[in-house]
């Protein structure tokens, strides 16, 4: 399965995670996105770590996102972002595998307004 989403500059799409083993793979062929991944898993050696990446034009990378970590992105720059996702699980419309938090939650130590580091 794959899908794409288009996001206007400055818009934040965060936070969410999955509980049934899904892994996401993000690619940004147009625009630039700040992708953030936060690990709060109890049994993880990287518990408490926050990683951010700038991907898109000029930095063409694919980001593998462990689905059980909190993740999201912000469209940075002046143009719309086209984000492609290649998740490992099919979307279940009757029972979606998503847990959500607001983008500005105190549970995750990220200020989305902080300028991105490239």
- Return the pLDDT at 117: 59
- Return the pLDDT at 113: 87
- Return the pLDDT at 116: 58
User: Could you tell me what percent of the chain has a pLDDT over 70?
Assistant: 97
Cβ neighbours, 10 Å, residue 18: 21
Cβ neighbours, 10 Å, residue 39: 18
In whole numbers, what is the pLDDT of the chain averaged over residues? 94
**What does 57-116 look like in DSSP terms, one character per residue?**
TTB--EEEEETTSEEEEEEESSS-EEEEE--SS---SSS---EE--TT-TTS---TTSPP
**Residue whose tokens read 């934040």:** 12
Query: For the domain 3-90, what is the CATH superfamily, name and number?
Result: Jelly Rolls (2.60.120.10)
Q: Is 34 exposed, middle or buried (0-12, 13-18, 19+ CB in 10 A)?
A: buried
pLDDT tens per residue across span 70-94: 999 999 999 999 999 999 999 999 9
Confidence of residue 114 (pLDDT cuts 50, 70, 90): confident
pLDDT tens per residue across span 35-75: 999 999 999 999 999 999 999 999 999 999 998 999 999 99
């Amino acid at each position: 399965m794959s899908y794409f989403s288009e996001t206007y500059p400055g818009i934040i799409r965060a936070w969410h995670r999955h509980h049934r083993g899904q892994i996401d793979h993000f690619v940004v062929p147009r625009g630039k996105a700040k992708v953030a991944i936060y690990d709060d898993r109890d049994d993880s050696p990287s518990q408490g770590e926050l990683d951010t990446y700038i991907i898109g034009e000029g930095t063409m990378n694919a980001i593998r996102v462990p689905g059980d970590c909190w993740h999201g992105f912000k469209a940075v720059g002046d143009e719309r972002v086209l984000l492609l996702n290649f998740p490992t699980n099919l979307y279940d419309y009757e029972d979606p595998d998503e847990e959500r938090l607001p983008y500005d939650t105190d549970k995750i130590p990220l200020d989305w307004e902080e300028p991105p580091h490239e």
